[in-house]
Structure 1
Amino acid sequence: MAKELLSVGFLPLVDAALPILAQELGIAEEHGLDLHFIKDLSWAAVNDRLLYGQSDVAHMLAPLAIANTLGRGRPAKAMAVPFVLGLNGNAITMSNELADKISPDGALATPAEAGARLVDVIASLEKTGRRLKFGVVHRYSSHNYMLRYWLAGCGIAPDKDVEILTISPPFAADALESGAIDAICVGEPWNSVAVERGCGRIVLVTAQIWRRGVEKVLAMLDENLEEKRDVVEKLIRALHETASRFVDPENWDRHSEVLARPHYLDGSVELIRRAISDRILLSKGSSPIHIPDFMFQYREAANFPWKSQASWLYSQMLRWDDMTYSREDQLRVEAIFRSNVYRSALDGTDAPMPSANSKIEGGIEGPLAVGSTQGRLLMGSDPFFDGCIFDPDKLPEYLENWLI
């Protein structure tokens, strides 16, 4: 049987794992697919390839798919996200000098403690006229929004008290090492690269800011989705099966070796294995520590495209990007996350399927059985560090709280 060829744009990050492993483990072939990968070094390049037809689907920043749809910075082009590639997996790595002030004991700080100390550092630097520089991977990235959410929640004005600059992930450790920036918020393995070089220390991880924060997604042009609907559903089934194997510790050695290959991440097998096993080295010479849910996959419908997650990202765009709320735009944003396609692709499989397409984010305090249309679905705690919750049906009121 002839296989369907799909070109996949990606950046060399651990959270590009599922499509890569689907191809290399033969799972894509079992589902009638042949995946061809196009590696780039910046999100702008990945995005351009997808928009201009050089790739069929892409490993993409979730907020970037929204920005494309809303026409932020370029003509609007509707996107579709039928599968979430994972939750969290990012960290905030600071120069050793700054890390010593923010987390003097060398441990993983709590967001509140780190923020309070950062306030003091900023106040001290203000006398010299210098502002701390933080690097994020793209203006429209969860890294940018999670960093801003944390800073603002600690009383720091992101656009006044510090500078936030854009740096492509493969160059983030270089920028930190050169002294061009004071901290980076980036995905693995690039935090660990900085740690191994001895030029930085991991102080926070984004799972501490929002325990179930949406991260990378599988994105494609909306106009191509129906044309390739059957192929896309095959891909979703292949990715779901891959995700089930990805969380099995028995597979971590093999998966790390595959991802480290030159044409994929071209990196250290050891650093990649740490990321996928939630064991992270905070500083050079220390021992890896277990960070629960550091990079979250498969469990609790982690790969389901919740419309409420898209809506939260939209709320952050409104908060930080000088945009005006409209109900029409919120519905456009929620329509990007194609839960209907995910449902159709996995109907009749062993995948637990939530009965709703949207939920209150940050409102689950412990294991909670939720309604499902197939299988049994148990959701874990998903708090924001500041205790706030996000109800997508009350987005204007949510924004008003921040203005107050």
Structure 2
Amino acid sequence: MTPLSIAFLPLTDSAVLVAAREKGFAADRDIDLMLVRTTSWATVRDRLVFGQVQAAHMLAPLAIAVTLGLSQHPAALAAPFKLNVNGNTLVMANRFAAALDPDVARRSADALGTAHDFAAAIGLYHHKPVIGVVHRFSSHALMLRYWLGYAGIDADRDVALRVLPPSLMVEALRTGEIDGFTAGEPYGSVAVAGGLAETVALGPRIWQRGVEKVLALRRDWMEANADTVDRLLQALAAAAAWCDDPANRNELAVLLARDDYVGQPAAHILPALSGRLVLRADRSAVDVPDALLFHREAAGFPWRSQALWIYSQLVRWGMIGASPEHERQAAEVFRSDVYRRALGETGEPMPGASLKLEGAVTQPMAVGGHRGALTLGPDRFFDGAVFDPADVAGYLSRYRAGGSDA
């Protein structure tokens, strides 16, 4: 069997990797999969860049940032598979949430109105709110900036963003080090269940099919090990289908609850898997059917347009200068060609194109696919914006640098 090590963080969206190992999907493809539990995204990055592991469960923007030379250790990375779509929440301490609309279900469904509500609450708060983010180059942080910016909130001036590992967020909230945080599940659910916080915004209500974690590989290793990569992607696709099957949710939650994986009670892991989230401890769960996707709607397909949207946010928030070379490098991190090579003969439904207008699908839509019918779910941004990957400059011109929608 081919030995293969993958670094991961203890998050619900590590599910596909865990299932690939524990349910035998990797072994079925002659891969001896070792999962290396890690605490921080910086450590995951370093393990991959320095060759301690062959692959990593990685924040999609971090893979792009490392490739663009924005990280401490630049390297050419590739992401031929998305491990999940959505999965994040923004929770705020009860003392801050008290200034918001008390109807938690309504405010979580209305991301646009809640952004303005949040801006007003900042003015009433006793100090500049400190919001935990898992990494500067995370989907969480970029979507938070995007959401706050719509309401005229400058994330570098009006709030303080503090980087913490996801597993330390709840304790930091408990001790008052932060006033809230945005992170992948199950940590938002843990904070809510403990009566420490209320859910203020949901990732899928900011971007309905927002890109999240990817399988990241060093590009040189990927190109030198094509057969192993193909077998790995086939195993992950099979594992993702198993994870998305409602019949397997309880078993998956129990599996992830183990100390060597997420290490949190299954009762806190199950809400995101089932799409039934408790937004405040004294309220019933609400339906969020797109809370976390692993397989359906070609969730694993690495759309290059999504890589370019991430790049546009790095430019918008002053993290990198715009240039044709940077744009090309960012797009090439998401390797839809490798995905097609690995899965093209498996019967896995996949899009016929590698780019699309992001935010343009408002209801389920059948699209031209390769080997099987494919329906894409709504991918709307909360503000109704549409991102055209062929006109990144035009998209950016709609926004004042580092500010709200112009």
TM-score band (shorter)? Answer: over 0.9
Larger mean Cα displacement after TM superposition, 280-289 or 258-267: 280-289
1:169 to 144, 163, 166: 166
Q: Distance in 2 between matches of 1:54 and 1:316?
A: 30
Residues 215-240 of structure 1: per-residue CA shift (max 9 Å, x gap): 00000100100111111110111111
Structure 1 unpaired stretches of 5+: none
Letter in 2 for 1:90: N
Residues 63-121 of structure 1: per-residue CA shift (max 9 Å, x gap): 00011101103353100101000111000001011112123123351212211222222
**Given the alignment of the two structures, is residue 266 of structure 1 paired with residue 245 of structure 2, yes or no?**
no
2:363 to 362, 366, 371: 366
Give the structure 2 partner of residue 91 of structure 1: 89
- How far 1:288 sits from its partner (Å)? 2.1
Give the structure 2 partner of residue 114 of structure 1: 114
Letter in 2 for 1:140: F
User: 5 Å matches for 1:270-349?
Assistant: 270-349=267-346
Write out the 4+ residue segments of structure 1 that deviate beyond 4 Å after TM superposition: none
Give the structure 2 partner of residue 215 of structure 1: 212
Larger mean Cα displacement after TM superposition, 69-78 or 350-359: 69-78
Letter in 1 for 2:119: V
User: 5 Å matches for 1:4-15?
Assistant: 4-15=2-13
**Given the alignment of the two structures, is residue 399 of structure 1 paired with residue 396 of structure 2, yes or no?**
yes
Give the structure 2 partner of residue 72 of structure 1: 70
Q: Distance in 1 between matches of 2:319 and 2:189?
A: 34
Q: Is the 8 A contact 2:49 2:73 kept in 1?
A: no
Letter in 1 for 2:35: F
Q: Distance in 2 between matches of 1:321 and 1:9?
A: 30
Letter in 2 for 1:8: I
Say which SS state the counterpart of residue 393 (structure 1) adopts: coil
Q: Distance in 1 between matches of 2:342 and 2:45?
A: 25
2:175 to 178, 181, 184: 178
- How far 1:185 sits from its partner (Å)? 0.4
Give the structure 2 partner of residue 52 of structure 1: 50
Q: Distance in 1 between matches of 2:83 and 2:339?
A: 12
Give the structure 1 partner of residue 375 of structure 2: 378
Q: Distance in 1 between matches of 2:118 and 2:338?
A: 44
Q: Distance in 1 between matches of 2:270 and 2:343?
A: 29
Residues 137-181 of structure 1: per-residue CA shift (max 9 Å, x gap): 000000000100100012211111111111110011111111111
Q: Is the 8 A contact 1:137 1:167 kept in 2?
A: yes
- How far 1:260 sits from its partner (Å)? 0.9
Q: Is the 8 A contact 1:23 1:35 kept in 2?
A: yes
Q: Distance in 1 between matches of 2:355 and 2:288?
A: 27
Give the structure 1 partner of residue 130 of structure 2: 133
Give the TM-score, by structure 2 length: 0.96
Letter in 1 for 2:178: I
Residues 184-237 of structure 1: per-residue CA shift (max 9 Å, x gap): 000111111111221111121110000010000000100100111111110111
User: Once superposed, what is the RMSD of the aligned Cα atoms?
Assistant: 1.2
2:34 to 33, 36, 39: 36
Q: Is the 8 A contact 1:103 1:203 kept in 2?
A: no
Task: State percent identity of aligned pairs.
Answer: 42
Say which SS state the counterpart of residue 202 (structure 1) adopts: strand
Say which SS state the counterpart of residue 104 (structure 2) adopts: coil
Say which SS state the counterpart of residue 262 (structure 1) adopts: coil
Letter in 1 for 2:218: L
Q: Distance in 2 between matches of 1:262 and 1:123?
A: 41
Give the structure 2 partner of residue 231 of structure 1: 228
Say which SS state the counterpart of residue 9 (structure 1) adopts: strand
Give the structure 1 partner of residue 403 of structure 2: none
Q: Distance in 2 between matches of 1:57 and 1:322?
A: 26
Q: Is the 8 A contact 2:86 2:211 kept in 1?
A: yes
Larger mean Cα displacement after TM superposition, 252-261 or 354-363: 252-261
Say which SS state the counterpart of residue 323 (structure 1) adopts: coil
Say which SS state the counterpart of residue 36 (structure 1) adopts: strand
Say which SS state the counterpart of residue 300 (structure 1) adopts: helix
- How far 1:122 sits from its partner (Å)? 2.1
Q: Distance in 1 between matches of 2:170 and 2:247?
A: 30
Larger mean Cα displacement after TM superposition, 155-164 or 102-111: 102-111
- How far 1:308 sits from its partner (Å)? 0.4
- How far 1:285 sits from its partner (Å)? 3.7
Residues 34-82 of structure 1: per-residue CA shift (max 9 Å, x gap): 1111111111111111111111100000000011101103353100101
User: 5 Å matches for 1:241-260?
Assistant: 241-260=238-257
Q: Distance in 1 between matches of 2:118 and 2:281?
A: 22
Change (3 A) 1:124 1:267: closer
Letter in 2 for 1:312: W
Say which SS state the counterpart of residue 185 (structure 1) adopts: strand
Q: Distance in 2 between matches of 1:250 and 1:80?
A: 33
Say which SS state the counterpart of residue 232 (structure 1) adopts: helix
